[in-house]
Amino acid sequence: MFSRLLVGLDGSAGADAALDAAIALGTRFHATIVLAAIADARLLDAPLLGTTSGLWTEGLQMPTDTRPLTEALDQRCLQLLADAAARVAEADLALEEVRTAGLVEDELLKLAERAEALVVGRRGEMHRERGTIGAVTARLIKQAACPVVVAGEQPSVFERPLVAFDGGETSSAALALAASYAETGHLPLDVVHVSGSGPEGDAVTAQAESFLAATSVHHQVRRLEGDIVPTVTAYALGSRADVLLVGAHGGRRRRGWPLGSRAEQIIRATPIPVIVVR
């Protein structure tokens, strides 16, 4: 299951939520937490451009050349790692630390190749409004080689998993991961499929039921009617699910994640953590 969980640190509330989620998951699955502090290379251009970002430079006096800024960001990395490591140690979990510089999303994508899940916040300090997703998070959930856990708006103990299933390739991968998740954690699993009336919806629910019947997971598969995003969101809240697993794109959208894809809309709509599987 999740034996190595990667978390990016930037000092934002979103990153703090991601660390909370990683610790909760790590405690459940006895995982190693990999802490990554990445000095964003774009900030080195800030003094030259006359612009700065509050994400990493809050409380720092901006210099007129890049050498002092590089040193300040390096110290910021060290402090972020020290603070996060203390929280992981308090949870009695194994940890690894990575400190580097570059484009944050590029470095996290590289590190994600050696992780079993990447845990991220919904947004950094540049996107504080509820219901929004930051640009870095949006790219990571589209391109990461491993599942991406998008932390919720509130803490979760990750014990009531729900799968939104549509029968597609990535949705089937999400169902397989959820079954392993539930089996390893001895948890019940809830599966919903949203469709109109007709035989196609019956075939999709039968597909999920057939897969789960071959496991030892206690489960229920439900077919619901309505618009996908509000229906899944309402069911998740009504059933008190505390983690939702979805495929990265729908069964009819095999070419990738177009803008406004339903998986991303679900992340925006629900306050609980969402695990996106490619």
CATH for 19? 3.40.50.620
Give the pLDDT of residue 253. 42
42 and 83 in one domain? yes
pLDDT confidence of residue 171? 95
How many structural domains is the chain composed of? 2
Q: Considering 124, 150, 176, which residue would you say is the last residue of a domain?
A: 150
Better pLDDT: 277 or 134: 277
> Domain range holding 233?
161-277
Phi, psi of 218 (to 5 degrees): -75, 120
Among 93, 128, 150, the domain boundary falls at: 150
Do 180 and 95 share a structural domain? no
pLDDT tens digits for range 156-207? 999 999 999 999 999 999 999 999 999 999 999 999 999 977 788 999 999 9
- Each as own residue / partner, the long-range contacts of residues 85-90 (CB below 8 Å, 24 or more positions apart, any chain) are 85/35, 87/19, 87/23, 88/19, 88/23, 88/26, 88/33, 88/35
User: Does residue 123 form part of some domain?
Assistant: yes
Note the pTM of the prediction, 2 decimals.
0.88
Please check whether residues 108 and 180 belong to one and the same domain: no
Report if residue 156 sits inside a domain.
no
- On whether both 235 and 121 belong to a single domain, the answer is no
**CA atoms within a 13 Å half-sphere pointing along the CA-CB vector of 41:** 8
Residues paired with 276 in a beta bridge: 148, 246
* pLDDT tens, residue by residue, 131-165: 578 889 999 999 999 999 999 998 999 999 999 99
169/146 same-domain check: no
Tell me whether residue 155 is in a domain: no
* pLDDT tens, position by position, 248-266: 976 554 443 333 478 889 9
